[in-house]
Structure 1
Amino acid sequence: MQTPRYRIGIDVGGTFTDFVLADLTGARLSFYKEPSVPPDPSLAVERGLAALVAQQGIDPATIELIVHGTTIGLNAIIQRRGARIALVVSKGNRDVLEIARLRMPSSYDFTEPREQPLVERDLVFEVSARMRADGSIDTPLDAGEVDDLIGKIAEAKVDAVAIMLLNSYRSAALEIELAERLRAGLPALLVSESAVIWPEVREYERCLVGALNGYIQPLKSSYFDKLASRVAGLGIAAPIYITANNGGTLSLDTARARPINTILSGPAAGVVASLAVGKAAGTGQLITFDMGGTSADISVCRAGRLEFTTTTHVGDFPLIMPVVNVSAIGAGGGSILWLDKQGLLKVGPVSAGADPGPVCYGRGGTVPTVTDCYVALGIVDPTRFLGGRMTLDRDAALGALAKIAEPLGLSGPDAAVGAAEAGIRVASAKMATEITKLLAEAGVDPRQFSLVAYGGAGPTHANYLAEDAGLTSVLVPMAPGTFCALGAVLADIRRDYVRTARLMVSRDGGEGWAEVQRHLAELAEEARAWIANEGDLVGEHGFVVSFNIRYPGQAYEIEIVLDEETRRTLDPQKLLDLFHAEHERLYGFAEPDSAVQTSTIRLAVIGKVAAVALPDAPLRKAQSTGIRKVRHKGQWLDAQVYERATIGPDEVVAGPAVIDQPDTTILVLPNWTARADRLGTLRLTRN
């Protein structure tokens, strides 16, 4: 008999740390949730791993891989609690972070203060070294100047340093030479070279990439070391990989050196899992909806592919590296209901977090949250939360909601319940507005898309959101509360590379096309060298190439993405045809006789790992276990109650209904129906 092999996916959230155990034979998926420990997230990982292994009765030696996502770096940037960092720039560039893009925070409020630079100005040091625009060295390093710089950095007592020399995106040689001298003089110092992390034109954005990498590197390195030690202490010798911003994974060594690649990893993993569920359900037109305790993360996927962006923001700072295009809204299960100065009801972005959490948790919370609304409206059964592991206090939730009911003009015995309904409507409106905007930008019809709902609160809120956003279909996976952890298990290994290449390309190619081919060859060679060292689990690898292209004289580019087959047979005529077609789709016209100008070439290497098969759901008959009173549109409805585990493939549940499972509660509104597919995924559709 073959020895079973397992993979474990982990996603650390603000309230819970989620685990998925995947049997590589496809026989089963096992799920577990452990309360997070914000001061030491690795402790929750250790506790959860120990409990999961014991619960499933598996030998730690049969675990072949652990894939882990975390928001530690993201939270450190947003909360400004990263390392004390210095920045080294070419002379004349000391104000690069201060000047930024010369834009005001608000076009309408001249009093709004600018964001604080990531590096204090007295920790920005200048050197004479600089590159020319063609990549040659204009001014080499001065040994005496470097020795003086080492002394100043040592005196500043910083934890890390970032380097950004002018024009170094053309060649990283000068930055690398300076970094090596700094490491030799200050062996304990962590150094990030901007042209090594992300060599793309635009000094401010490239400087931020290097600075952000250094800002979180000490914190993340310390966490990774602690994580590896705790996992080894459990007798688990499996390699640990970290989920990345681009929907892939990275080895622990790569993540230590490039923590900037992992700051948005959690939301990206959920989108990866959504594509797998959508494929099994027969649709690739998806809107992913991850509603946790703090926020709701939304992404649009077309034709079963991840959508990327290079214009996202991390806190106050732009990030030009490719990340899965996820928009975050400050409306999660723990988001607080409050009244502004005009007496209008608002939801979020402030969250009650894990401690004290919603009022109904009974941990000292006094301000009502979205979760308190679910409990007050009868959607969530206080005695069955987390499968009965935690009892909620409905009376406390109603008491907190009553405090905001009176200012809203609500009175009578159901005033608190009315406030809960109002809170749900406001939260839904915020989310529906974001979805409508994203779909409008993509130029697509919302009726063609299915909402994939996951996270602890996603399935509870999904039907409300679908109605407000004009959607006609909702998909709820089997274990939505641990869905991002499942995405971690399903992800391949991936890393992105970039070259700035301002080249003119015509149908006959010309000199510009020769340069394009040279850049592609160099990127592929660099990517192959990296993927060869990412571990024994990597199988075959392939490339995805994208170009930023515009017509000569245009201010903005269009991204053209090539799959592996198109890349292999690419010629200048095919590239131009793809650009003209996309330009016409987006703007309604094209100039097919015109040459085009490239600005950026990106290449992603994808190392395949053995696929994890999603198991079929067992055949079971759905039977109601009772009635639950649920408030909807001012009326108390008799909702049928079901256990999710009893709903097998092709079983149908008609709304109003509530479906309970250990990690979430699914609401099916009147005039909606839920049907399970072969994986057990519920598809909610309008009658």
Structure 2
Amino acid sequence: MPYALGIDVGGTFTDAVASDGAGRIVSAKTPTTPDRREVGVMRAIEELAGELGIGVGELLSRTDYIAHGTTASINALVQGSVADVGLIATRGHRDAIYIMNAEGRTLGRSAHEIQDTLRGRKPAPLIPKYRALEVTERIDYAGQILVPLDEDEVRRVARQLVDQDVEAIAVCLLWSFKNGVHERRIRELIHEIAPDMYVTLSSDVSPRIREFARTSTTIMNAQIGPRLRTYLTPLQEKLEQGGLKGPLLVMQSEGGTITADRAPEHAITTVGSVLSGGVIGGMRLAEQLGHHNVITTDVGGTTFLAGLIVDGEPVMAAGSIVNQFPINAATIQVHTIGSGGGALASVDAGGNLRLGPQSAEAVPGPACYGNGGTRPTNTDANLVLGIMSERGLLGGKKPLRADLARLAIRQHVAEPLGLTVEEAAIAIHEVQNAQAGDLLRRAVVQAGYDPRDFVVYAFGGAGPAHCAGYCQDLGVSEVIVPLGPVASAFSAYGLAASDVIISAEFSDPSAFPIDHTVLESYYERLESDLQRALDRQQVKFQSVTLQREIDLRYSMQVSELTTPVPATRFTAETGEEILERFEEHYERINGSGAGYRAAGVQAITYRVRAKANLGFPVELPRIGDAAGTDPSEALIEERSVCLDSQLGFQPTPVYDYALLRAGHELVGPAVVDVPTTVVVVPAGVTGRVDHLGNLVLSYQ
């Protein structure tokens, strides 16, 4: 029987899921190995093989594909562990990356940070100026060559960069998004001098107008591409040596995968790969449960992530920002803060309790892990509060030490604030819930939606312990904790259930609507490009669907809204239909009546996304029904637990998830022990086990 594997390499744990497509799904969780992530990946696969009762070689030989999400790209950018890159730009335009379109002090910063003008700083430049060189050429706004490329100058510039020992070269010319012929010729000339040089072209990775964002995207792609190749190549070789016959696929920010041998060319699309898996898993679960609007919340060891699914599809964004630099790559819109289970608790100079964004990560981990960590974390607080047992995680394989947790909280939080250890622990727990709740409200309301129209899915190692708290004031109808065989490996499940997704786009700013025959020619061109890209994947697809989009804005505005384009044949009425969709979206975000057609509308970027289904069913299996609603058969103990600062410690029943069945109901306060996580059911909340083994929390 064939298998599909999903592997999610997080900052603290590496999660893995295997599905046989016939209803059997198993999961595994192992510590991430930061220095050599492939080691943690192979250990996770070994755990999966053990759960299935077969050898690693047999599992790999029967695997149709492995979908892999990695933090390697985003971590490299955030930590500055990137390749040395040179830039070739049009003469007179290399400084675009340093001027930063006058946005350098504000991009990616909160309103509070922007208002603090005395502390506002531009970020360090992506590359030093001596590695940013220029060549003579000019293509105009219509894509016509005005000044031919000076090839001798290109050879001299390329030699200068090679002599500086750069590991990659980014090429970004002024109007290359209209005509990339000069960029392609520069790549040929570079390879005449350095055949193995990693070269990335803006016309390939970001054919959009706006020079600064296009240049930063191209440079960052060059910075992480060589390192991603260095990581993926030995991993793929190790898997193939172990018997893997199917492809290794890498998750992209927009919620689909790409083959590992193609991923380094488009490395920038993998920056948000681990953020997307949970949203895709939520989308698949929503299909089974019949939910159309879902807020996905993933509380891992390092971060809290929130995404939206509206009408069955993830909410997307045209780009993102990392280190105050823009990235032109379509992405599932995921809101994140550094507030996971390993978030470090501290007291600032003003005597305020802070949680995150720094994390204990996998090494040394929370103090209670006993691996040398001395700073208190959210996990340490949950242990002191009785939410977690000293039996620990991973089915007892990772016992926890309450004495070390208490010591860390006492030294770093309780004594500075004049609190008892228990008071400090519940304060940490409630700060976590408050931070997460604030993020959820912003994520939903700022997108123009009402939280009352949504259900929440809560997963990740720490999500089930906090979800009832951070959703309490949100107004949602239900909170669903996906358990069953995926439990805290839900993001890995999303990876295994993902499609291959590839996008093609180009900018051509003009007044809209345009003639429908021109519109049709644009999308025919994009769809033809996508078909060639799909053919290069060398993967068999069961089906391929295309999604057309266009970025529109009112004249004189500076930002666009991505608007869906009908999948039908274009007619004279198509432009008007697109405009109606644009204005409906605009008014949902900005308020009824905010639209103003008389100002004129501009089309900026045209885009098509191909979603290729791999044909492997990855559905969560049903579980057995209970004889009634009483869960007492699953009761394993009663322990003193504090879930509320007002109620303090109370005798609380603890249930073994493995003994719960569909139909069982738990009345809070209660705790459910799961091998890889723990679920909290506070007072005033009822938990019901559904037919897939999920715990559905409802507020009384």
- Shared fold by TM > 0.5? yes
Match of 2:10 in 1: 13
Whether 1:588 and 2:592 are equivalent positions in the alignment is yes
The question of whether the paired residues in 1 share the 8 Å contact of 2:26 and 2:51 is answered with no
Instruction: Report the Cα offset of residue 310 of structure 1.
Output: 2.1
Matches of 1:570 and 1:464 in 2, distance apart? 49
Equivalent AA in structure 2 for residue 500 of structure 1: S
CA distance in 2, matches of 1:514, 1:491: 34
Q: Is the 8 A contact 1:550 1:597 kept in 2?
A: yes
Residue range with higher mean Cα deviation, 639-648 or 38-47? 639-648
| 1:423 corresponding residue in structure 2 | 428
Give me the whole-angstrom Cα distance separating, in 2, the residues matched to 1:552 and 1:217: 37
Q: Is the 8 A contact 2:16 2:492 kept in 1?
A: yes
| Worse overlay, 146-155 or 652-661 | 146-155
What displacement does 1:231 show? 0.8
Q: 3-state SS of the aligned residue for 2:101?
A: coil
CA distance in structure 2 between the aligned counterparts of 1:283 and 1:318, rounded to whole angstroms: 33
What corresponds to 1:632 in structure 2? 643
Counterpart for residue 494 of structure 1: 501
Q: Contact 1:542–1:564 (CA<8 Å) still a contact in 2?
A: no
CA distance in 2, matches of 1:54, 1:564: 46
- Structure 1 residues 387 and 113, CA gap change in structure 2 (3 angstroms): same
The equivalent residue for 2:624 is 618
Does structure 2 retain, via aligned residues, the 8 Å contact 1:459–1:476? Answer: yes
CA distance in 2, matches of 1:137, 1:489: 46
Structure 2 counterpart of 1:120, which letter? P
Q: Distance in 2 between matches of 1:365 and 1:591?
A: 57
Aligned residue number for residue 48 of structure 1 = 44
Q: Distance in 2 between matches of 1:639 and 1:206?
A: 56
The aligned amino acid for 2:529 is E
Alignment counterpart, residue 398 of structure 2, candidates 380, 387, 390:
390
Q: CA offset at residue 637 of structure 1?
A: 1.6
Report if the CA contact (8 A) 2:306-2:443 is conserved.
no
Instruction: Note the 1:119-518 alignment, pairs <5 A.
Output: 119-403=127-411, 404-410=413-419, 415-478=420-483, 479-506=486-513, 510=515, 513-518=516-521
SS at structure 2 position matched to 1:117? coil
CA displacement, residues 611-660 of structure 1 (integer Å, 9 cap, x when unaligned): 32321123346332221211133311222111112222222111111111
Structure-1 residue corresponding to 2:34? 38
Q: 455-464 or 561-570: which moved more?
A: 561-570
TM-score by length of 1: 0.95
The aligned amino acid for 1:46 is M
In 2, Cα distance between the equivalents of 1:595 and 1:113? 36
Specify the SS of the correspondent of 1:300. strand
Counterparts of 1:55 and 1:470, CA distance in 2: 39
1:565 Cα offset (Å): 5.6
Judge which range, 549-558 or 347-356, deviates more: 549-558
Residue 535 of structure 1 and its aligned partner are, at CA, apart by 2.6
**Deviation string, structure 1 residues 572-603 (Cα, Å, up to 9, x no partner):** 23223323333444431245788632111111
2:149 partner amino acid: L
1-structure distance, mates of 2:569, 2:587 = 20
Name the SS of the counterpart of 1:76 in structure 2.
helix
52-61 or 177-186, larger mean C-alpha shift: 52-61
The CA distance in 1 between the partners of 2:374 and 2:66, in whole Å, is 38
Q: TM-score, normalised by structure 2?
A: 0.93
**Distance of 2:272 and 2:557 partners within structure 1:** 31
Query: How far off is 1:50 after superposition?
Result: 2.7
* Cα distance between partner residues in 2 of 1:399 and 1:656: 27
Q: Aligned equivalents of 1:353 and 1:86: distance in 2? A: 33
User: Per-residue displacement from partner, 1:219-247 (whole Å, max 9, x unpaired)?
Assistant: 10011111012112322222111111100
2:4 partner SS? strand
Q: 2: distance between equivalents of 1:182 and 1:7?
A: 40
Residue 681 (str. 1) matches residue 681 (str. 2): no
Q: CA RMSD in A?
A: 1.9
Q: Distance in 1 between matches of 2:347 and 2:477?
A: 32
**Contact persistence 2:653–2:671 (CA under 8 A):** yes
Q: Sort the Cα spacing of 1:556 and 1:47 in 2 relative to 1 into closer, same or farther, 3 A.
A: closer
Structure 2 match to 1:672: 685
Unaligned ranges ≥5, structure 1: none
The correspondence for 1:528, drawn from 514, 527, 531, is 531
In the alignment, the residues of structure 1 paired with residue 93 and residue 512 of structure 2 have an alpha-carbon distance, to the nearest angstrom, of: 33
Output the CA distance in 2 between the equivalents of 1:567 and 1:377. Answer: 62
Q: Report the Cα distance in structure 2 between the residues aligned to 1:618 and 1:492, rounded to whole angstroms.
A: 30
The residue identity in structure 2 corresponding to 1:102 is A
Name which of 559, 563, 575 aligns with 1:560. Answer: 563
Share of identical aligned residues, percent? 29
Paired residue type of 1:608: N
Shifted more, 460-469 versus 574-583: the winner is 574-583
Code of the aligned partner of 1:231: L
> Which secondary structure state, in structure 1, belongs to the residue aligned with residue 97 of structure 2?
helix
| Alignment counterpart, residue 657 of structure 1, candidates 663, 670, 680 | 670
Inter-CA distance 514–568: structure 2 relative to 1 (3 Å threshold): closer
Distance 2:364 2:539 in 1: 44
Q: Which runs of 5+ in 2 are unaligned?
A: 107-113
Report the CA distance shift for 1:32/1:661 in structure 2 as closer, same or farther (over 3 A): same
The letter for the 2-side match of 1:205 is A
The residue type paired with residue 628 of structure 1 is: R
Shifted more, 118-127 versus 146-155: the winner is 146-155
Quick check: 1:337–1:370 contact (8 Å CA) kept in 2? yes
1:102-113 → structure 2 map (5 Å cutoff): 102-103=102-103, 104-105=105-106, 106-113=114-121
Offset from partner CA, 1:166-211 (integer Å, 9 cap, x none): 1111111110110111012111210000111110001111111111
Could you say what secondary structure the match of 1:407 adopts?
A: helix
The 3 A distance-change label for structure 1 pair 570 and 376 is farther
Q: CA deviation at 1:536?
A: 3.4
Cα offsets for 1:474-530 (capped at 9, x unmatched): 111122311111001111110111121223334xx54xx333222111001101111
1:577 alignment partner, one of 575, 580, 602: 580
- Higher alpha-carbon deviation: 591-600 or 622-631: 591-600
- Given the alignment, which residue of 46, 50, 57 partners 2:53? 57
Distance 2:568 2:26 in 1: 36
Offset at 1:51?
Answer: 3.3
Q: What is the alpha-carbon distance in structure 2 between the residues aligned to residue 664 and residue 168 of structure 1?
A: 50
Which of residues 655, 667, 677 is equivalent to 1:642?
655
In the alignment, the residues of structure 2 paired with residue 570 and residue 211 of structure 1 have an alpha-carbon distance, to the nearest angstrom, of: 41
Distance 1:566 1:668, change over 3 A: farther
Taking a change above 3 Å as real, the CA distance of residues 594 and 115 of structure 1, as seen in their structure-2 partners, is closer
Partner in structure 2 of residue 116 of structure 1: 124
Aligned equivalents of 1:527 and 1:365: distance in 2? Answer: 49
2: CA distance between counterparts of 1:41 and 1:396?
28
For residues 117 and 575 of structure 2, the distance between their equivalents in structure 1, rounded to whole angstroms, comes to 47
Q: State the 1:569 CA deviation.
A: 11
Conserved 8 A contact 1:287-1:301: yes
Distance 1:565 1:267, change over 3 A: farther
Post-superposition shift, 1:662? 1.0
Query: Distance between the aligned counterparts of 2:395 and 2:329, measured in 1?
Result: 40
Q: Following the alignment from structure 2 to structure 1, what is the Cα–Cα distance between the partners of residues 184 and 611?
A: 26
**One-letter identity of the residue aligned with 1:40:** R
Moved more, 399-408 or 469-478: 469-478
